[in-house]
Structure 1
Amino acid sequence: MAIKQLSETLINQIAAGEVIERPASAAKELIENAIDAGATRIEVATAGGGKSLLRVTDNGGGMEPADLELAIRRHCTSKISESLFDIRSLGFRGEALPSIGSVAKLSIASRVPGSAEGAEISVSGGRVSAVRPVAANPGTVVEVRDLFFATPARLKFLKTEKAEAGAITEVVKRMAIAFPHVRFVLSGSDRSTLEFPSAGDPLARIAQVLGSDFRDNAIALDAEREDVRLTGFAGVPTFNRGNSAHQYAFVNGRPVQDKQILSAIRGAYAETVPHGRYPVAVLSIDIDPALVDVNVHPAKSDVRFRDPGLVRGLIVGAIREALQREGDRASTTGAGGMLRAFRPSFRPPSPAGGYAWSPETSPYRPTAAPSGFAESQQARFDTVAVPTARAEAPVVAPPSAPPVESHPLGAARAQVHANYIVAQTEDGLVIVDQHAAHERLVFEQMRKALSGRRLPSQGLLIPEIVDLPEEDCDRLMVHAEALEQLGLSVERFGPGAVAVRETPAMLGEMDVQALVRELADEIAEWDTAGGLAARLEYVAATMACHGSVRSGRVLRVEEMNALLRQMEATPGSGQCNHGRPTYVELKLSDIERLFGRS
């Protein structure tokens, strides 16, 4: 078969398959062009999820008539000349406009500031019209109609109009975060208007996009390593989401969805965010353009660093340092959730249409005063309502509470259900999960010891024999030396069994059988040559869980306060080893709102 040159239209349609995957791809390219043109106001209008209409209007520098003729040709651009090693603009490939014009009905109207009139050019399915004069405001208006009408097979792969509109919204959000000085307006017949006013403060713009809660739960990042600088904000671990859509990364101002960066974020939050939950983070990396390749994919969403290990180390180190510095505080959304849980879901309506209370309708009943109360207090105590379903709930309270302390986690006042410590702070109260908190404290001690000498161990009077499948025994013995470093002495005990002679002293009494079996399961899941050496922290986390203060153990006031003081001095104590919060905090103002006092 003879080789022949493809037509320009077909070449553009092939390029469109890589560059323009969906309406959101077109929106991204057009917004990038507007920003590169110096726009400070960008308006995006859509219809039919961007399939029927996508219009991007900007107040940038505009284009001359001769520029319009070149703009719709492949590989014509004003942003680079001879080299790909110094790219400082968002666009540079010169493919977006001709690709869109080959599969849709494209029109571009533009006017250079100071010019008497504007100019317009149209492209429909690859057919180009002549440039003609047009009345236009300074800047550029790009209108895309009937996307993929020239390649109808592509329409079958698009999602619903709502899903496509949502994808465009996400593109605008990412651009809005990257360029806080630009005003963005997103409108159309298929959506409610969304506006992001220009903001001089990057955190203010992020709060516009991610919600005001992020401002209260964000930790500022500013770190540099070998001329690579990382700035941005990382959310506290307890401020997390059900997917990774709230993780934003930018390289030299370019929004990217790079797997290396997302992996580094996961690594930085390891053991602080529960499985299946994702931290919220906005990261901006400034790097010499010669040290990063942005030409990896036509969509420019992926990048390739010359030294990926350096970038990963910078991200992980900066976030972990920030979390150690400030990340142990409870998220403000935790208090909001607690307030919602406390609010009654039903109150009987009064005849006037409001709400009323009466002894007959209330689920509470008065109780007698406890012994030891003065008779003068009897009437006051009789009015205290106690839920009948909770009458037998065990509550242990100290007979004489210590004065309120200025410590961040306050002074212990009670232990509820032999698992939750209630502490009073200067401006509210804190509720601590004693097992989760102590688990984290033990883990941090074990983690610290990993880089030093062997952890102290305690010998068992009678060795614990654990029956296991032969292959699990083999795996444990391969890593016996590493386990020894953690204070766990394991020996082979005939076929299908191991003997445990020593356990880490800090864990105290524990279920050795359960611990060894769980360790065997973990090693079987991720074992590689030398795999345990790289995952000793995971082993330490498992061991810490088995050796922590268990739920159901009644603690003295001194023990509760000692636990609180240890938490304040231990990095990462705001989350257990599995990422769940170890405490929640309620401010006095939150409590007063519960009772209608504010």
Structure 2
Amino acid sequence: MPIEQLSETLIDQIAAGEVVERPASVVKELVENSLDAGARRIEIVTAGGGKSLLRITDDGHGIPEAELPLAVRRHCTSKLAGGLDAIASLGFRGEALPSIGSVARLSLRSRAAGADGAHEILVQGGRTEGPRPAALGQGTVIEVRDLFHAVPARLKFLKSDRAESSAITEVVRRIAVAFPGVRFELAGEDRSPTILEAVAPGREIDRVAQVLGADFTDNSFALDAAREGVRLTGHAGLPTFHRGNALHQFAYVNGRPVRDKMILSAIRGAYADAMARDRHPVCVLFLDLDPRDVDVNVHPAKADVRFRDPGLVRGLVVGSIRAAMANLALRGSTEGAGGLMARFRAGPTGFAPAPSPPTPAAAASAASFGSGRGFSAQPSARYEIDASPSRPLNGPAPRFADFAPSARSVAPAAAEPTPARAQFPLGAARAQIDRAFIVAETGDSLVIVDQHAAHERLVYEALKTSLHAKPLPSQMLLLPEIVDLPEADADRLGEAAPTLERFGLRLERFGPGAVMVRETPALLGEVDAGALVRDLADELADSGTGTGLQARVDHVAATMACHGSVRAGRRLDGAEMNALLRQMEATPGSGTCNHGRPTFIELKLADIERLFGRR
């Protein structure tokens, strides 16, 4: 076939395939335009999952009448005054509106600040009508109807209305976290209304709570670190607070929501030895750096970015999260305690019995114990034993006595003096249950500790400190192994050789497309040197870091810790139990074992009293 010039309409439709993937893509582009226009209130209305209708209304500075025709023309934008090296806005390509207009029926109505009136322009199939006068206060209203009616092949690949509607909600939630001072409202016949109210300056965590839930604030820690011109802020969840997928990981670069694989890999690396492999942390991370050090013009959807120094960014993310976890006071997730209390409340069948009307006598008895308030599964305020309704009528409030021993399952703490229960975060050991769990008492709670999981973490941290304090020993190969690789991979391994040598792997270049392995880490024992080197080459190509070798060393340390720690079934006396508790308090990350399971659960005594109807 002869070469022909494509029509402008077909060119726009092809370009739209890169920018407009689904209704959520349209919402993302239009909401970003509203934010670039300084909007403080944005309303999104949808119908048919966004396929039938998308309407975005904002109170931004609007578009002057003379610029409306340019706004819907390709490669026309007001956001690149500083060039591609200094992009300070969310949008900059000048493709969104013309791309949408080529595959849908688009109407744009706007009134610029200070203008006498509003004007409207219509785009359908690439053809424009207007501008013409319209009625509107300051701001902009954009309506997109019958998305992909001009390209039915794209329309049939969209998902159900519910799925598309959920995708729109997710896009708005991710954008809203970065702009806490803006009010977002989602409405429409295909959804329940969702309103994210603007929050006051300094209360950005309230917007995060609106999106991720109030429990995130109780189970997260703040981040604020900087290194060589890159700053990281935000919040990261405790290792014991996790989810089944990575959808609760929000990352932003200079205020732009991104799904960058390098950042996601850094998050996984930060929690590598504190969380199970099939679980995912919850976090909200903001990276701020010079726009010249990051390229956002690498993908039409602007979800991927490229950093000038990816190793610096990865190191900052991993190091900051790990350092913050190491400096945390010993904390456990409220989900563990809340879930356990909920199970207790539900009864032996796992279902809460239907409440029955109390008898007059029972009501009077309940009133005498102050049980008029409902039970909350979440840990409550500090427990005051002297104010407890179950205290004796006369005399001081009682302290817990040691549990009486049974034939096998419960052993009391030794009779020697024990630390005061309020003196330490994990309190004083009171008993060992089933030779597997330590029960301790603090000033306002009971703490149940899994002795094997806790000691496993302590041994692991001690092993890691010992292993990484100096270069790891290596074992020399009887015959050096030559590993053939692409030249680019060999170059990357050659550059990383000094770092790899610290972990016991000594290699050197052997011609343009090969490396020679002379020594391997002794800790790994007999190892396939070729497979190890190829894996490291792939990792260096993918993320720019060769942390895979360190991960293998840490895995060996974790295995040694698991087999060398106190096993369930071993009887501990009071001194041993209290020594384990004190070591936990002094060891970073001791709230979880090496496999990501919690090492302890804290139950507030006030909640236990409510459970028994005493409060």
Out of 415-424 and 26-35, give the one that drifted further: 415-424
Question: Is residue 348–residue 356 contact of structure 1 (8 Å, CA) maintained in 2?
Answer: no
- Range with bigger deviation, 521-530 or 167-176: 521-530
- Residue pairs, 1:451-530, within 5 angstroms: 451-452=468-469, 527-528=532-533
Q: In the alignment, which of 208, 211, 225 is matched to residue 209 of structure 1?
A: 211
What is the distance in 1 between the residues matched to 2:258 and 2:610? 42
* Structure 1 residue 425, shift from structure 2 partner: 1.1
Contact 2:330 2:425 in 1 (8 A): no
Post-superposition CA distance 1:462-492 (Å, at most 9, x none): xxxxxxxxxxxxxxxxxxxx9xx99xxxxxx
The runs of at least 4 consecutive aligned structure 1 residues that moved more than 3 Å come to 345-357, 390-393, 399-403, 452-456, 519-534
Question: Is 1:559 paired with 2:576?
Answer: yes
Deviation for aligned residue 1:392: 7.2
**1:272-421 pair list within 5 angstroms:** 272-326=274-328, 328-343=330-345, 344=347, 345=350, 352=357, 394-398=409-413, 400=415, 402=418, 403-421=420-438
Deviation at 1:404, TM superposition (A): 1.7
Question: How far apart are the structure 2 equivalents of 1:352 and 1:391?
Answer: 38
Whole-Å Cα distance in 2 between the matches of residues 575 and 21 of structure 1? 41
Deviations along 1:518-555, one digit per CA (max 9) or x if unpaired, are x7899799733687566211110111111111111111
- Ranges in structure 1 where 5+ consecutive residues have no aligned partner: 358-385, 457-481, 487-503, 505-515
Q: State the one-letter code of the partner of 1:22.
A: R
2-side partners of 1:348 and 1:302: how far apart? Answer: 51
Distance in 1 of aligned mates of 2:192 and 2:430: 50
User: 2:309 is matched by which residue type in structure 1?
Assistant: D
Q: What is the CA distance between 1:593 and its match in structure 2? A: 2.5
Matched residue, 2:125: 125
Q: Given the superposition, is the C-alpha separation of residues 526 and 205 from structure 1 closer, same or farther in structure 2, using an over 3 Å criterion?
A: farther
Contact residue 236 and residue 328 of structure 1 kept, 8 A: no
Q: Which amino acid aligns with 1:336?
A: G
Write out aligned runs for 1:55-454 (5 A).
Answer: 55-81=55-81, 83-200=83-200, 201-326=203-328, 328-343=330-345, 344=347, 345=350, 352=357, 394-398=409-413, 400=415, 402=418, 403-452=420-469
* Partner Cα distance (2:471, 2:119) in 1: 77
Structure 1 residue 156, shift from structure 2 partner: 1.7
Do the aligned residues in 1 keep the contact of 2:223 with 2:235 (CA within 8 Å)?
Answer: yes
**In 2, distance between residues paired with 1:355 and 1:272?**
52
Equivalent residue, structure 2, for 1:370:
none
Q: Tell me the secondary structure at the aligned position of residue 528 of structure 1.
A: helix
Normalising by structure 1, what TM-score?
Answer: 0.81
Q: Structure 1 residues 240, 348: closer, same or farther in 2, change over 3 A?
A: closer
Of 583-592 and 129-138, the range deviating more from structure 2? 583-592
Work out the CA distance in 2 between the residues paired with 1:297 and 1:417. Answer: 57
Deviations 1:269-320 (A, max 9, x none): 1111112111011000111000100000000011000000000001011101
- Over 3 Å counting, the alpha-carbon distance change for 1:590 and 1:393 in structure 2 is farther
Could you tell me how far apart the structure 1 residues matched to 2:412 and 2:196 are?
Answer: 51
Q: How many residues align?
A: 510
User: 5+ unaligned residues in a row in structure 2: which ranges?
Assistant: 363-402, 474-499, 505-521, 537-547
Deviations 1:216-268 (A, max 9, x none): 11211110101111110111111111110110000000011110100000001
CA contact (8 A) 1:437 1:573 kept: yes
Task: Name the CA shift for 1:571/1:533 in 2 (closer, same or farther; >3 Å).
Answer: closer
Deviations 1:93-139 (A, max 9, x none): 00000000000111111011332210011111222112110001210
Alpha-carbon distance, 1:577 to partner: 0.8
- SS of 2:614's partner is coil
Deviations 1:158-207 (A, max 9, x none): 11111111110011101110000000001110111111110121111101
Cα shift at 1:591: 1.8
Aligned to 1:538: 555
Q: What does the per-residue CA deviation read over 1:476-513, in whole Å, with 9 as the maximum and x for residues that have no partner?
A: xxxxxx9xx99xxxxxxxxxxxxxxxxx9xxxxxxxxx
Cα 1:7–1:234 change in 2 (3 A) is same
- Report the Cα distance in structure 2 between the residues aligned to 1:441 and 1:11, rounded to whole angstroms: 62
Q: Contact 1:347–1:355 (CA<8 Å) still a contact in 2?
A: no
| Partner SS for 1:100 | helix
